Amino acid sequence: MTPVIPADLTGEGREVWSRMVSGQPYWDMHPELERKRVEVRRLFEAYNRTDFEDAARRRALLERMLGSVGDGVVVEPNFRCDLGCNIHLGAGSFVNYDCVMFDAAPITIGESVWIAPMVGLFTTNHALDYDERAAGGAVSRPITIGDGAWLGAHVIVLGGVTIGRGAVIGAGSAVTRDVPDNVVAVGNPARVLRPITEADRMGFTR
């Protein structure tokens, strides 16, 4: 997904945003970024307070908050994000309770992805050098999750990672590098355990 610079950013704010979404070092505490964070905080706090039966309002808030939202997406409260507009949720995806997405770089989630409770997707890495970190230096890398993937409870995904189509990430894993299609990956850091095969079918029918 090609990152978009918000139309209300001007001058230095546009430059900082451009550096942020393109993987260059940037000032993470720039006033324009802080302003955008306040805007999205109001939206996700409103979303988290909305009655679960008020589907129209929940959908409208998601569309205002996120970059794109496919049909049939479900996002349970409490959901939190950093900027919102860099998050793209594919059709039929399900985000369970207490998910946090830090989307300084794009987070692209495919169709029919399952995200279990208390998952964190973090594109941003603050500077390792103390002086740079204290000054607000950071760099961000995108996260991409393929169609049909399933992230178990308490999974953490770091910036620069692509999780393949149909992959399953075991609960409590920290994903620090790419995971191929149709495998089970577990651990900290997550490693591929095995492929998903016909033997994994349970014989379930509905």
Q: Which residues are the active-site residues?
A: 126
Q: 150 near 168, Cβ under 8 Å?
A: yes
**Taking the mean position of all CA atoms in its chain, how far away is CA 108?**
7
Q: Which structure tokens are listed for 18?
A: 């451009």
**Cα separation, 8 vs 11, whole angstroms:** 10
Q: Which amino acid is at 154?
A: H
Dihedral (CA of 17, 118, 79, 39) sign: negative
Residue showing tokens 């992959």: 167
The bridge status of strand 162-163 relative to strand 143-145 is parallel
Phi, psi (deg, nearest 5) at residue 66: -105, 165
